[in-house]
Structure 1
Amino acid sequence: MDLLRSLPIGLYLENPFTLLHKLDPRVKLAWLLSFLLAPILSTPQWRLVLVGILMIITLITQIPWRVWKQQMGWLLIVTLLISVITTLSPDGLGVVSQPRLPASDLLLPQPTDYNYVLVDKGKLFITRRSLDLGVRIGTLIFILVYSTNLYLLTTAPEGITAGLDNLLSPLRRFKIPITEILLTLTLSLRFISLVLEEVQNLMRSIRTRAINWKKLGIKKSLQVWLVVVEKLLENLLMRAEEIAIAMEIRGFISPNQHQVEWHQLRLVRGDWLALGLLIIFWYGRLIWGNV
């Protein structure tokens, strides 16, 4: 079991260097915020368009198949299951419902071919509301999770903090410690891989001991897992202390006194093209995506 490969959420893909890697972190952040805000008060059709755009971006940038399968495959399965369950639920998760139409002897001929009930096959009962709710919930989960994951996948933690530091620099006038906050964000993003590595090592140590859990029983099994959790926290605190000591040895006392320029933020032709496409994106959202 390799957690660093089976759970690649939030990890940075260093190789291959795709088209998304070349974009300025600020431009990618603008696109990420657009994907997070565009589904709000939008039609189900527009949300499906957003899902399609994310898939197209993944294919165009030539992200490796192994990463694509791990990043998008499980998420597609989960969102499809949620959509199907919501669609098949009684009128959009409503347990108690009452007839929308009068008794059959009072029915009048309909002037149009509109039908609120789309499928009525016994237990298979789908209405327009349940289908609409299923599409909304499934697409919303996919867009929020995958767009954020794609941003972290193609943007180095240093690039994220450099872009945020540049965008939030006006807040320094209000005495807000932007540099300290972003330094904490950088360290936390770098710490994700260390946490997964420690969990992976502990799980391997348990497997090599071939513990018979059935003979231990529930009480002793819980005691074993408590020892494992305690060891995990101890190792993580030790790693954090090692990082702090390394920073102090290198003279890092304060972010304002020890500035490190990770990236030279400069918009090039590809960045301006992405910004132009972002304007077209929001034009389409305002024209065709409103409810």
Structure 2
Amino acid sequence: MDLLRSLPLGLYLEQPQTWLHKLDPRVKLAWLMSFLLAPLLANPLWRLFLVVVLVLLTLIAMIPFRVWRQQMAWLLMLGFFVFLLTAIAPDGLSAEQQPRLPANELAFAQQPATPATAQRPIWLDPRRWLTRDSVDANGERQSEQQPNQQALTESLPQPTAYNYVLFKQKPFLVTRRSLDLGVRVSTLLFTLIYSTNLFLLTTAPEEITAGLETLMRPLRRLNWPVTEIVLTLTLSLRFIPLVLEEVQNLIRSVRTRAINWKKLGFRGAIQVWMLIAERLLENLLLRAEQIASAMKVRGFTSPNQHRVQWHQLRLCRGDWLALLALLGLWGARLIWGSEVS
């Protein structure tokens, strides 16, 4: 198992250089924030549209298939199972669903104002002598038109095709609310993870920090340590592959020892994994100490005095086109993507 290939989290694709690599990091950061904020208060169709846009961006950018096939497949599978479980789960509405109008509306409208128990006998009500009703065993008349009215009411078509329950087959029940929740959760999960991974895949850590430093310059007036924050972010992004490498080496070392987990039992397995976690923490602290020592030897005592400018940020023609496309995306979001209340 190679974690650096199966889980390309936070890794930068150096070759080949696609048109996404050549965009300004500030523009890509604006697109990333748009993908993270656009699903908020959006309808399900817009959320699905964002998923399609991310997949099309990956295909149009001509990123190698070996880079994104496994992660996209796992994310799509995870999103599908989350959608399926959320759709068939209870929607959380405790109110019972009842029709707005009674089932027999015509008969309900012609009911007498007085209760049936207080209705007077027919021989005491002269207004009912001329009606064409039948007399029951108790001496009270019953209307002959009631069955016809009930049949007429049942044959009336529904005014709309709305139905709250979309699928009902015991033990599964899919309602409009549960289906909407399933689309929301699954698409949001895919959008958050894959948009961030696509941004890190096509943007070098130094470009990310340079773009953030440019955007955070106004905070220096508030005495914020912008340079220290940017340097810490650069080191943390560079440290992610080292963490994956250490985890991979420890897993390989455990496999080579051919440990019989059945004989160890539950407590023995817990002890072994605790030792592995302790060893992982020691290795990571050792790597961090080595990086700090290397920076001290090279004279990096303070980020303000020893600054290295890796990239010259400048908006080009492609960046302006990307910004115009971003404005079009937000215009479409405000027109068609808003959630209908």
Fold conserved between structures, TM > 0.5: yes
Give the TM-score range, shorter chain: over 0.9
Shift of 1:203: 0.9
Q: Is the 8 A contact 1:47 1:140 kept in 2?
A: yes
How has the CA–CA distance of structure 1 residues 254 and 113 changed in structure 2, closer, same or farther, with 3 Å as cutoff?
A: same
| Deviations 1:224-268 (CA, angstroms, capped at 9, x unpaired) | 222211111111111101100100111101110001001110111
Give distance in 2, aligned partners of 1:211 and 1:254. 47
Of residues 98, 101, 115 in structure 1, which corresponds to 2:163? 115
How has the CA–CA distance of structure 1 residues 88 and 106 changed in structure 2, closer, same or farther, with 3 Å as cutoff?
A: farther
Partner of 2:126: none
Give distance in 1, aligned partners of 2:48 and 2:262. 47
Task: Give the letter aligned to residue 33 of structure 1.
Answer: M
Q: Is the 8 A contact 1:163 1:265 kept in 2?
A: yes
SS in 1 for 2:20: helix
Within a 5 Å distance, the mapping from 1:26-175 to structure 2 comes to 26-90=26-90, 92=91, 94=92, 96=94, 98-101=96-99, 105-106=103-104, 109=156, 110-175=158-223
Partner of 2:18: 18
Q: Is the 8 A contact 2:21 2:203 kept in 1?
A: yes
Q: Is the 8 A contact 1:9 1:71 kept in 2?
A: no
Q: 2:270 aligned with 1:222, yes or no?
A: yes
Structure 2, gaps ≥5 residues long: 106-152
Of residues 244, 247, 258 in structure 2, which corresponds to 1:210? 258
Q: Is the 8 A contact 2:3 2:244 kept in 1?
A: yes
Task: Give the letter aligned to residue 53 of structure 1.
Answer: V
Give distance in 1, aligned partners of 2:65 and 2:189. 22
Of residues 240, 243, 246 in structure 2, which corresponds to 1:195? 243
Q: Is the 8 A contact 2:79 2:187 kept in 1?
A: yes
Q: TM-score, normalised by structure 1?
A: 0.94
Give distance in 2, aligned partners of 1:97 and 1:263. 59
Shift of 1:217: 2.3
Count of residues paired in the alignment? 289
Shift of 1:193: 0.5
Q: TM-score, normalised by structure 2?
A: 0.81
Give distance in 2, aligned partners of 1:216 and 1:200. 23
SS in 2 for 1:120: strand
SS in 1 for 2:232: helix
Give distance in 1, aligned partners of 2:332 and 2:283. 50
Give distance in 2, aligned partners of 1:17 and 1:261. 21
Give distance in 2, aligned partners of 1:277 and 1:97. 44
Which one has the largest radius of gyration? 2
SS in 2 for 1:202: helix
| Deviations 1:24-51 (CA, angstroms, capped at 9, x unpaired) | 0000000001111111111111111111
Task: Give the letter aligned to residue 220 of structure 1.
Answer: G
Moved more, 207-216 or 279-288: 207-216
Give distance in 2, aligned partners of 1:180 and 1:101. 63
Task: Give the letter aligned to residue 172 of structure 1.
Answer: R
**Structure having the larger proportion of residues in helix:** 1
Task: Give the letter aligned to residue 147 of structure 1.
Answer: S
Q: Is the 8 A contact 2:6 2:71 kept in 1?
A: no
Give distance in 1, aligned partners of 2:83 and 2:261. 37
Shift of 1:5: 1.1
Partner of 1:282: 330
- Identity %, equivalent residues: 64
| Deviations 1:69-92 (CA, angstroms, capped at 9, x unpaired) | 1221111111111111111123x2
